A and B are shown apart, each in its own frame.
Chain A
Amino acid sequence: MESVIQARRLAISYRLHKLLGRLALWFAVLVVISPAVFVFFWMLSLSLKNEIDNIAYPPVFIPNPPTLTNYLKIFRESNYALFSYNSVIVSGTATLIALLVGVPAGYGIAKGKAQGLGMLIMVARITPGLSYLIPLFMLFRFLHISGTLLALMISHLVITIPMVVWVMISFFEDIHPELEEAALTDGCNIWQAFYRVAMPIARPGIAVAAILAFIQSWNNFLFGVVLAGRETRTLPVAVFNAMTFEQLSWGPVAAAALVVTLPSLLLTIFVQRDIVTGLAAGGIKG
């Protein structure tokens, strides 16, 4: 009898211990994700409230009732459709060109045929953005293409190419050399080994590289703020201007901020699992 009670007591204490461990873990999870959740929640909250609620103190947390006025306002009063189009064209083209030149380059570096290029890309990673921006700014003036989408797109290659090359190096390095060697002994030349053997295997890597490069280009502010003209502003530049002109009009600014960042966040969900691989290649920021 005595031993049965003791066993039961032990079982309860073990279960309690496990439960406490679970609770501690969930508490830690809550602590860890709450800063991210809160800032995004606040962004959404500001964008769905009217101006009176937005500058109320103590702050109104849950929009009641939520309003879409801020979103309608930014699309009606400012040319956000045009700025979105600019962003898509600039980031889309810069990503596409980066894939065309960067995937083969990454292959060359990974196979040890272009180490100098790898070194160069590494130095590019640590160089401050302004060391590209000033010369490119002068070059575009000289070519009379200042303020055009073409100029912006060229400048964004500085962001997208190193990103694509980095990610692709790590993907190509993971491919077993025997595969290509087999292709080469079967009479393929190195281009065929790359195009017919390595490329299909590295396809998921190409998708990750494309998405990461696109996000980095989409998020870029510095190149746009200097190089864009009135009609060629990209979204981050347009949103920044919204803040300067509407000092205390928080709702529209928050709505614009959310519109800008939503595509990056949605794309992130797709590559969430693979981002770690991209990171192994040397860091996310361009």
Chain B
Amino acid sequence: MWFIVPAIVVIFAVIVFPWIFTLWMSLNDWQIGMTNSFIGLENFAKLSGDGRFLSTIPRTLYFTVLAVILPVILGLFAAEVFHQRFPLRGLLRGIYIAPMMATPVAIALVFTMMFHPQLGVLNYLLSLFGIPKQLWVYSADTVIPTLALVEVWQWTPLVMLIVLGGLAALPTEPYESAVIDGASQWQMFRYITFPLILPFLMIAVIIRTIDALKSFDIIYVISQGGPGTASETINIFLYLQAFAFLRIGHASAVVIVFFVIILALALTLLYARERLRWNR
């Protein structure tokens, strides 16, 4: 297998080297343009007492919960719809998945204009239904759900595709016997489709969780972490530490804590998926 040697070399250079270097930087007092000095775990100790950093964790989890649960529910529904046969299905499915392939920055800019409290089209559409004007990303109370809404808009198609793949692989026999036994549509969904589709839903949950935790473009472009620090997630905090304040030793420590959080959540969900499978 000598022909995978180039791959190993390149992967070590651009992927493994940065990991190791990040570990090293996290153990140093290091600012861009200054000399570095080894300080052991002091960066981590400082982080554990940094209120601004600590407050980013529940905020990130709040955003993540919204950006995982809503796409899973809506994606399941959309997959049921696209599992039916109807004319132009291919084209309409193509339109449906367009958001997840679109450039996030471009999408974020359009949403920024749509969220404008006075001139935005969303407040106008709400007013047609008699709903009062919202402040969207301009209020600390609504900024996280609003940003999650954009994330939901963009990534529900991914959940749909994963579930659709699952639906296509379902056996037909259980449905035939259910029809003979006089089961209702809802009963068939609840007792046949849902349990069979659950492993696929769990894959979607895992992928979505990892990506929602790491979400950057949409938040940074729309709110830059504001108003104040109301939408400063771990990733935004990390970015500011590294490239606004140039504290890269400190930022590297944040990267490692962040990685551990993502890994822990991913492994927990993976474990939950195995359990679900085992019970089946």
Contact = CB atoms under 8 A, between A and B. Distances in A.
Interface of A: 25-26, 28-29, 32-33, 35-37, 39-40, 42-43, 46, 55-59, 97, 100-102, 104-105, 107-108, 113-114, 117, 120-121, 124-136, 138-139, 141, 154-155, 157-158, 161-162, 165, 190-191, 194, 215, 218-219, 221-222, 226, 235-236, 239-240, 243, 250, 253-254, 256-258, 260-261, 264-265, 267-269, 272-273, 275-276, 279-280, 282-285
Contacts of A260: 103, 105-106
A190 B16 contact: no
Residue from A29, A117, A165 having most chain B Cβ neighbours under 10 A: A29
Interface of B: 1-4, 6-8, 10-11, 14-19, 21-22, 25, 32, 77-78, 81-82, 84, 86, 90, 92-107, 109-114, 118-119, 121, 124, 153, 157-158, 161-162, 164-165, 207, 210-211, 214, 216-217, 220-221, 235, 238-239, 242-243, 248, 251-252, 255-256, 258-259, 262-263, 266
Given A190-B1, A272-B93, A279-B165, A135 B17 contact: yes
A161 B14 contact: yes
Q: Is chain A's interface secondary structure helix, strand, loop, or mixed overall?
A: helix
Contact of A134 (B93, B107, B255): B255
A275 B161 contact: yes
A265 B102 contact: yes
Contacts of A280: 165
A263 to B, nearest CB: 9
B47 to A, nearest CB: 15
Contacts of A97: 10
Given A126-B262, A221-B105, A272-B93, 15 more contacts: A29-B86, A39-B153, A56-B119, A104-B7, A121-B11, A124-B15, A127-B19, A130-B235, A135-B18, A141-B32, A161-B14, A165-B7, A264-B101, A264-B102, A264-B103
A138 B21 contact: yes
A114 B1 contact: yes
A250 B113 CA distance: 7
- 8 A-B pairs closest in CB distance: A105-B7, A257-B106, A135-B21, A135-B18, A101-B7, A268-B101, A283-B207, A261-B106
